[in-house]
Amino acid sequence: MTEESLRWIRNFVDGQFVEPEEAHSFATIDPATGAAFASVHEADRTLVDRAVVAARRALDAGWARTPVRERTALLRRAADRIEERFEEFVAAEIADTGKPVRQARELDVARALANFRTFADVVAAAGQESFLTELPGGRRALNYAVRKPLGVVAVIVPWNLPLLLLTWKVAPALACGNAVVVKPSEETPATATLLAEVFAEVGLPAGVYNVVHGFGADSAGEFLTTHPGIDGVTFTGSSATGSHVMKTVAPRVRPVSFELGGKNAAVVFDDVDLDEALDGLSRSVFTNTGQVCLCTERVYVQRGIFDEIADGLVARAQNLRLGSPMDEATTTGPLISQAHRRKVLGYFESVAESGGEVLTGGGIPELGADLDGGSWIEPTLWTGLTNADRAVREEIFGPVAALIPFDTENEAIALANDTEYGLAASVWTNDLRRGHRVAHAMNVGMSWVNTWFLRDLRSPFGGMGLSGIGREGGESSLHFYTEPTNVCVQL
């Protein structure tokens, strides 16, 4: 980041960075050290209004009618520019989240490039549906649907994978001809702001991409979702906030796309290749310190291999390297904030009250020096819990999992589906037919067999129940970010 943006993280409205106001600012904290590293200008209602008005003006001025090949060419240039400024994005993401440098490079920023390039391909290749309608008496008609941009889209994203989740929405929205007002998490404002620089550099018209910073209730988030000028909301965050946002847009009946929380299960059968399954399971529990909506927090293990899986996972948990994000050997970063750590520690207490047994972890690590001010937590595994316990029912969003035994396939399916969430599941077995069968039976948006978080960005992504409404990815994104007008011509 530049010297200037290190001191201030500014709003970006109508193609310009807005002069920050000291009186309306909050500090952003590096969760690895607990030190404040920048001031963020909190957008007030007037600034959010200016952003929405600018977005509408950009649409009307021609962005919505710009040929697809020009819009997608701009996305490709943005991807190329991020690639040129790759290490700046990596540094900004690390400053905000404390995540290990290897992950920031290989997952977060790499996926931003993939999001832009994939959606440029998907939108450029998209066709329109048409039907030749045959009526009695030999009359015929041609029906075809014209897809138009949804309009001004409010994009609200969380802190766990800030750039990845932001570009996952912004790329298809812009490719489809929408203008966006994005509200990054108050915890992680940096990369959305850096992206504004990139868009300005590649010549995206003013007003097509706007960034407003702030919190949710009575701040930029709510000012945005209640603004009468928005045509839809795409939101990733917790189920509770999603429910609230849904109420705020209900009076104006705007479409919503919701990617919400999860309480994801892994089901491990006794025919697995143990090492392969353990490596995959460990990744699914501990990636990003458990702060991925897709992370596994419930591991159901067939009784015959329960001890081997428990021992193998404990060994892998103890091998994780917590430490400075800039150290290439670090595998695991801190939680996002002290507040989030207090929430996770509350679940540690609830496990003790439920009579659960801690297999490993369960506390705050001592990492020494400047890291002691950070929001670190030990990777933690439990046994002795059941589906009735709070820590097995509620999303914790930390590097934690409960291991629970089962005997039969039907029992495993019932246990995994016994949740109000429905985001993701993984099934671990060497029996091909069982793998398919159990994966189908999971009441989730995404079911993996012998892997986890393996994504093809053209496939549908999202959840059911408390985990969300709608799907994004490939064609699903095109459906959300456009409105079809069906034209019927009598021939």
Active site residues: 259, 293
Which single residue is written with the structure tokens 């928005």? 230
**Alpha helix (H) ranges present in 68-227?**
68-84, 86-97, 101-103, 110-125, 162-175, 190-202, 220-225
Contacts of 322 (CB under 8 A, 6+ apart): 330, 331, 332, 333, 334, 365, 367, 376, 378
Question: 3-state DSSP call for residue 304?
Answer: helix
Distance, CA of 181 to chain centre: 17
Instruction: Give whichever of 202 and 464 is closer to ligand NAD, judged by the CB atom.
Output: 464
Instruction: Give whichever of 183 and 316 is closer to ligand NAD, judged by the CB atom.
Output: 183
| Distances in whole angstroms, Cα of residue 444 to Cα of each of 294, 350, 395 | 11, 26, 15
Which single residue is written with the structure tokens 């297999």? 359
CA 182/CA 202 separation, integer angstroms: 19
Closest distance of CB 105 from ligand NAD, Å: 20
Closest distance of CB 236 from ligand NAD, Å: 5
CA 67/CA 47 separation, integer angstroms: 30
Residue number of the CB closest to ligand NAD reads 216
Which single residue is written with the structure tokens 């801690």? 358
Closest distance of CB 258 from ligand NAD, Å: 8
Instruction: Give whichever of 454 and 489 is closer to ligand NAD, judged by the CB atom.
Output: 454
| Distances in whole angstroms, Cα of residue 84 to Cα of each of 6, 14, 149, 198, 201 | 19, 24, 30, 10, 12
Closest distance of CB 431 from ligand NAD, Å: 29
CA 152/CA 49 separation, integer angstroms: 12
Instruction: Give whichever of 261 and 465 is closer to ligand NAD, judged by the CB atom.
Output: 261
Instruction: Give whichever of 66 and 238 is closer to ligand NAD, judged by the CB atom.
Output: 238
Residues that bind ligand NAD (CB under 6 A): 156-160, 165, 183, 185-186, 215-217, 221-222, 225, 236-238, 241, 244-245, 259-262, 293, 395, 397, 423, 463, 468
The secondary structure of residue 65, as a DSSP letter, is G
Which single residue is written with the structure tokens 């143990």? 274
Distance, CA of 452 to chain centre: 15
Read off the amino acid at residue 26.
Answer: F
Q: Give me the helix-helix angle, 162-175 and 190-202, nearest 10°.
A: 40
Closest distance of CB 244 from ligand NAD, Å: 5
Instruction: Give whichever of 300 and 397 is closer to ligand NAD, judged by the CB atom.
Output: 397
Closest distance of CB 241 from ligand NAD, Å: 3
CA 109/CA 195 separation, integer angstroms: 11
Q: Which of 129, 168, 137, 100 is nearest to 331 (CA)?
A: 100
Order of all β-strands in the sheet with 140-149: 130-134, 140-149, 482-490
Token pair in block for residue 413 = 């399916």
Question: 3-state DSSP call for residue 256?
Answer: strand
CA 203/CA 78 separation, integer angstroms: 9
Closest distance of CB 188 from ligand NAD, Å: 8
Instruction: Give whichever of 33 and 225 is closer to ligand NAD, judged by the CB atom.
Output: 225
Instruction: Give whichever of 66 and 248 is closer to ligand NAD, judged by the CB atom.
Output: 248
Closest distance of CB 421 from ligand NAD, Å: 9
| Distances in whole angstroms, Cα of residue 319 to Cα of each of 276, 279, 291, 313 | 16, 12, 19, 10
